[in-house]
Structure 1
Amino acid sequence: MQQLFKLGCVSLALTTCQLTSANEFYSSDRQWLFGDWNGQRQQLEDQGYKFNVSIMSQAATNLSGGYNDDSDFENAAQLTLGANFDLSKIAGWQDTTAALAITKRDGNAVTLERIKDPRASTLGNSQEIYGRGKIWRLTQAWIKKGFDDNALQLKFGRMGMSEDFNGSQCEFQNLILCGGQLGKSIGSIWYNWPVSVWGANAKYQFAPDWTIGVGVYEVNPDNVKTDSDSDGFNLDMDNVEGATIPVELAWKPKLATFNGLPGEYKVGALYSTADANNVKTGEVEDGKYSFWINAQQQLTQHGADPKRGLYASVNAVVNDRDTTAVESTQQLELWYKGPFDSRPNDSIGFGLANYSVNDRVTDRQIATNQSRGYDSYDALASNYVPVQHDELNVELNYSYQWSPAVLLRPNIQYVHQPSGVKEVDDAWVAGLSVKLNF
């Protein structure tokens, strides 16, 4: 994997050479760094085979604050090998598609190394790509079939839950500001990329602007084991503990309603049948639930280009207070696509998001410390339990889209109360995301 990091760094360094032809390796309009394979790649896509090879790298360094303010530099990365298949073209199966993806993650996170109190459970992360083990994983292996001109779509196989429910835009490097929110607070029953589980879902467009979806996904702790690469390819259901069942209603107006600009609005709920521990008493509950809202709206349009302008996204999750340590999350994001005429595909982003820790968890932590003789924060005692409250994450970034194949995103982040611990200094973090499509 280290060789992959080096390859990404070499590719990034060479992008400083501006070339004009799309056939040149580093041209600003090149679709893939490995090119079109002498026309074969586009020909294969026309026949129903679309391939994806990409590397995402996220570097971060702590500038000040945190549990340990000694400066540190950490890099996390992910390799993705994927393919999509249009089976209507390949096999004549009308309105049928399939996907296969394998991923490998590696590296470390500055949040864990410097920013949070190591005795406290982790809330946010300044590098969203870090987590779920440094192993190879089968991330996608599913097939989807449409009926009635795709008004009804059925999907089955191995997948992450936020592919189809609680999905959201990812324009940031900070974890809670990237994508769906459920996996950030109920990760024991809700699995985001790169973890996949056995699942099935159905979505029905019952009106031109309205879609209803329902899914059933296994809750299986074997799927998040990280002891070896074989854990990332677990396909058995021997230790399934229950099912997570989400329902989501989506409104996506065909005729844009906000100053003639498009948007999408979703509300959803889930119930998990897996047993869950009560955060106050420790007793076993029969299940747990969550609710969410996702809203994304284009607010302005720059000139005649419908893609340029100001966008906003609002996301919120409310979890079962009896069984969940994070009671809710709230997120607000703004990004401006095409800020300069010379850079129509770049964007400037600003986002803030909050973890709200369940006060029942806070009370339990206080009681535990008092029983051990601690009346105030002790930075050295190994058996002291840091008392957790809210954690606020803020990010400002600039996305430099050199070409469809190369994205650079320098960013600055601010973390208030890392892991919700008031006694830990607020932290400033500088980061850089790089994505290369080969």
Structure 2
Amino acid sequence: MNSNKLLIKLSCLAVAICTAQSSFANEPWSQDRQWLLGDWNGQRQQLEQEGYKFTASIMSQGATNLDGGYNDTNTFKNAAQLALGANFDLEKIAGWKDTTANIVITKRDGNALTLEQIKDPRSSALGNSQEIYGRGKIWRLTQAWVKKGFADNTVQFKIGRMGMSDDFNSSQCEFQNLLLCGGQLGKSIGAIWYNWPVGIWGTNIKYQFSPEWTLGVGVYEVNPDNVKTEKDSDGFNLDMDNVKGATIPVELVWRPKLTIFNGLPGEYKVGALYSTAEANDIATTDKVHDGKHSFWLNTQQQLTQKGDDAKRGLYASFNVVVNDKATTAVQSTQQLALWYKGAFDSRPHDSIGFGIANYLVNDRYKDRQIATNTSRGYDEYDAFATDYVPVQRDELNVELNYSYQWSPAVMLRPNLQYIHQPAGVKEVDDAWVAGLSMRVNF
């Protein structure tokens, strides 16, 4: 799908939505319309009642640089994703108690402003102002799994093709900036931790041993073939011929009921992983480690409630990842986000978001870059030498946005982003970016 054509179509959609004066429930732009294409004369809801749920959506994220960055020539870039899915309640369909199956196919396209304008092209990327970009412009089998519940669903077993942050290190996504959206591990250890849209073979089991506490453990393949992007068939590669090891996450989840914040919902996670795949030392080329590890903390809490509507109010999340210093370029990521749902009575489903997130580069990796430049005769930043390696430190990302929820089917999210030290290179000017996310559920 051509991203420019997709952008034009979505832009026309946005204009139509914003200029509409009135609508009725049976019109495409109705504010209570669940799906843009409707419920198929009631057949869609009937299918869901029978256990068949079908989804189709397009997410588009545009971004333009307002000031700063490596190349401050004003440019607009758009990235997009098409997702097609089906969920099957196998208890309703086949009588298999507490069993569901899911399949999702995705296609990404477009370009990233951060890669082409914001960062020094000689640097490896850290953040991205369009989180939807990445893992190739190909079709992918993103999910194909079965989940079975036991003992009144207090034990759940899942197996198949899936992303790792579907079940571990997961977090909210109320932002367009990469580090402020979703699970954090894939942003810093993407060679062994695969997030959406990549699907890998894996399995996990979760045990809810009390009403507030759940313990989960999983095993997922480490297979470089899963992130190949040369052709569309790479996204449907199901063999395990090139498996290098396994990533094993463990996570403890606490969902307090009445103990804090007047019983408002919250979720607190602490987790760790170990990968059995060999990992190169980050400071030298002649040392290989038997594996690598990471730790994380995810918290999300509703802080206030507006009136009698349980969904309106102030929410906060705080997420931290700490990686193996011996093998990982990004030592740590930290994220703090706030968003308020339903600030205006006339717009109860809209939200205002503000987030700040940071990549902290490993000192051992930075020292290696400095040593490489010294060996090539550079003792300071050179903006033109092709063999100069920009020294990377930390990168700070900030975003302010407004999510305009026209209906359950259509969402627009204009946003303003600030990037300090793009790709961690202090010699690159801080950048201001304007963005617009659009999501349409068909």
Q: TM-score, normalised by structure 1?
A: 0.99
Number of the residue aligned with 2:255: 252
- On the 8 A contact 1:205/1:212 being kept in 2, the answer is yes
CA contact (8 A) 2:79 2:132 kept: yes
Which whole-Å CA distance do the structure 2 matches of 1:353 and 1:91 have between them? 46
Query: Secondary structure of 1:214's match?
Result: strand
Q: How does 1:88-107 map to 2 (within 5 A)?
A: 88-107=91-110
Partner residue in 2 for 1:426: 430
Alignment of 1:56-75 (within 5 A): 56-75=59-78
Distance 2:165 2:340 in 1: 24
- The residue identity in structure 1 corresponding to 2:203 is A
Which residue is 2:11 aligned to?
9
Matches within 5 A, 1:256-335: 257-282=260-285, 283-335=287-339
For residue 226 of structure 2, the aligned residue among 214, 223, 228 is 223
Alignment partner, residue 416 of structure 1: 420
Q: SS at the partner of 2:44?
A: helix
2:52 is the alignment partner of 1:35: no
Q: How many residues align?
A: 438
Question: For residues 177 and 189 of structure 1, what CA distance do their matches in structure 2 show?
Answer: 20
Q: Equivalents in 1 of 2:193, 2:370: separation in Å?
A: 28
1:50 matched to 2:53? yes
Q: What amino acid is aligned across from residue 50 of structure 2 in structure 1?
A: Q
Cα distance per residue 1:91-147 (max 9 Å; x no partner): 000000010000000000000110000000000000000000000000000000000
2:256 is aligned with what amino acid? P
Contact 1:18 / 1:28 at 8 angstroms: preserved in 2? no
1: CA distance between counterparts of 2:436 and 2:256? Answer: 35
Query: Gapped runs of 5+ residues in structure 1?
Result: none
Say if 2:324 and 2:331, in contact at 8 Å, map to a contact too: yes
User: Matched residues in 2 for 1:429 and 1:222: separation?
Assistant: 34
Identity among equivalent positions (%) equals 76
Aligned alpha-carbon RMSD (Å):
0.8
Counterpart CA distance in 1 for 2:257 and 2:205 is: 21
Contact 1:248 1:267 in 2 (8 A): yes
Structure 1 residue identity aligned to 2:331? E
Quote how far apart the aligned CAs of 1:151 are. Answer: 0.2
Deviation, 1:334, is 0.2
SS of equivalent residue, structure 2 residue 257: coil
Q: Which residue of 351, 373, 377 maps to 2:377?
A: 373
- Structure 1 equivalent of residue 90 of structure 2: 87
> Structure 2: how far apart are the matches of 1:5 and 1:419?
27
How far did residue 230 of structure 1 move?
0.3
Q: Deviations over 1:296-341 (max 9, x none)?
A: 0111111111111100000000000000000000000000000100
CA apart distance, 1:261: 1.2
Kept after mapping to 1: 8 A contact 2:65/2:74:
yes
Gaps of 5+ in 2: none
CA shift, 1:257, in A, is: 2.1
Tell me if structure 2 keeps the 8 A contact 1:8–1:55.
no
Q: Is the 8 A contact 1:256 1:263 kept in 2?
A: no
Are 1:398 and 2:370 counterparts? Answer: no
Following superposition of structure 1 onto structure 2, how do residues 204-215 of structure 1 map, counting pairs within 5 Å? 204-215=207-218
Q: Is the 8 A contact 2:284 2:368 kept in 1?
A: no
Asked whether the equivalents of residues 355 and 390 of structure 1 are also in contact (C-alpha less than 8 Å), the reply is yes
Give the whole-Å Cα distance in 2 for the aligned partners of 1:285 and 1:387. Answer: 24
Deviation for aligned residue 1:281: 2.1
| 1:342 paired residue number | 346
